[in-house]
Amino acid sequence: MSQKIIKTLSEAIYSTVHRSKIEINEIADRIEKSPNLLYKWSYPPESDAHSPMQLKNLLPLIEATGNYSILDYLERMVGRIAIKIPRAAIAKGEETEMVNEYQKKCTTAVGALITFLNSPTKENHNMVESALEGVQKTTVSLSKYCEKKNAGQEELFFYD
């Protein structure tokens, strides 16, 4: 299932505050702000109730929620993608799972691309954009994992 591509910073803040697995009161406690302020941050900028979020609150909010929508949005706006850096050492079974997950993402992206090319609607465009972004992030993450694994192998061979 593909995620909706967030098109505005306001949407990203809303997603971080309201679509977190953590209740808004707990988020507020964790970042030492009032729940009312969190609601104000997530209102659209044109709303009278909106209050702009200060940059110094960005990292605490992301850390408290574990939601990276704001970072993903900012990265996309400057033509970059953010990736999760993988652990260096994992079991063979987990490596197989990584390959299976990557194959699923690639297959999903190809299906979304075919659907879009056959029927270029806004909904299909969003679907293919999200699927391709997922493949890009996973590709870069796996590349980093391979670099780390290779570096570990080199250490085995070059130490006396």
User: Which pLDDT value is given to residue 4?
Assistant: 67
Q: How far apart are CA 91 and CA 119, in angstroms?
A: 42
User: Which pLDDT value is given to residue 23?
Assistant: 93
Q: How far apart are CA 154 and CA 41, in angstroms?
A: 49
> Alpha-carbon Rg of the chain, whole angstroms?
20
Largest CA distance in the chain: 69
User: Which pLDDT value is given to residue 34?
Assistant: 95
Q: How far apart are CA 7 and CA 40, in angstroms?
A: 19
User: Which pLDDT value is given to residue 100?
Assistant: 92
pLDDT tens digits in sequence order for the chain, 160 residues long: 446 677 788 889 998 999 888 999 999 999 999 999 999 998 888 888 888 899 899 999 999 999 988 998 898 889 887 776 655 556 677 888 889 999 999 999 999 999 999 999 999 999 999 899 889 888 888 888 888 788 776 544 444 3
pTM: predicted TM-score of the whole model, two decimal places: 0.61
